[in-house]
Copies of this chain bind each other. A is one copy, B any other.
């Protein structure tokens, strides 16, 4: 959008808002607000929170924790996407998926062992790891079951695709550490093991290990949280989240994958013909409208439609939005900078006429891939699969403004 076009957009938008915002404002204008109580006495001391927390009025914005599970050792919580703005997820609201609970690791005792097909097996302390050259990147992380194919009955954006978050990660290139150990010629896979009670183990192709894979120790500026792998994790940009092994203790360089539980009985995609796709690493292009979204309510007039798009293949090229149930699609504006394998915020100005309708978004990535409808996706993949559902999410808007899951 040129600056000139942008300016015209703002003028139009402001006028549209005027119909709604200003009407309320004018009603109140007869009685300018008085001095509120919180101006009449000093507030809380500076530094009263050595590590800050949100306002008590935002206490409801928390992880979306499923209720009534038989156990919470192997479970997940979702990011409240519909309550967030921008592209970054605060660490306190980053989605969780654990298979053996959250270990409480002493970083002084933690070790990373690198062995197998290497010239010089290594056992590194956290100090050793932090001494390597570092890099920082903003990347999304998404669970491959976000949602499962049968799990599209949720109410909110978080219920449906809340197993995605985005952060700035800092660490060392895995390639740098592997070169330090010295790869032997037949090194084709690296089997990564976590120090949790599940000993989560996944196999990573050597090409990814020598490309953009990181050993990460910091997230959004500070050290990783326990839920995200403190003190050390693998991070594989664009790959299914499960492979970015948390609480990393071991890298076994091998000629073959480990064929572990999490890449045989789980994290494979059962196809209609009974065969299964295995090692489906990359998270394909996807998007969701977060506002307005399920359980929210809108009123007629100007409503900005905004949401998130992402692709494991690189950058988002565009996002199209329909406000008429798929009959027509308009190009949304992408918030700059559009980053490689990060969430991308999109926005579209929209004036709602108060009639029932369905809205939805679809992402197009830099490879030209277009996010499919649920019908198109399942025509190929069937309904026996659980992982890698990246279908369009429709929201139905009722005449009273209530927004609901368009699948349900």
Binding site for B on A (CB under 8 A): 9-11, 13-14, 17-18, 20-22, 24-26, 28-29, 32-33, 36, 38-58, 61-63, 65-66, 72-77, 83-94, 96-98, 100-111, 113, 115, 120-125, 128, 131-136, 168-170, 173, 175-177, 179-180, 195-197, 199, 217-218, 220-227, 230-231, 247, 249, 302-304, 306, 335, 337, 339, 345, 347, 349
Contacts and interface: CB of A to CB of B under 8 A. Distances in A.
7 contacts: A17-B133, A21-B128, A22-B122, A33-B113, A38-B195, A43-B196, A46-B76
B123 A173 contact: no
B26 A120 contact: yes
**Residue of A39, A73, A104, A231 with most chain B CB atoms under a 10 A cut-off:** A39
Given A105-B36, A168-B87, A55 B337 contact: no
B90 A72 contact: no
Nearest to A180: B14
Contact of A102 (B46, B249, B303, B349): B46
A63 B43 contact: no
Contacts of A337: 337, 339
**Residue of A39, A46, A57, A106 with most chain B CB atoms under a 10 A cut-off:** A46
A53 B345 CA distance: 26
A39 B196 contact: yes
Contacts of A218: 84-86
A225 B120 CA distance: 48
Contacts of A43: 73, 98, 100-104, 196-197
A72 B217 CA distance: 34
A109 B39 CA distance: 13
Contact of A51 (B17, B92, B230): B92
B107 A57 contact: yes
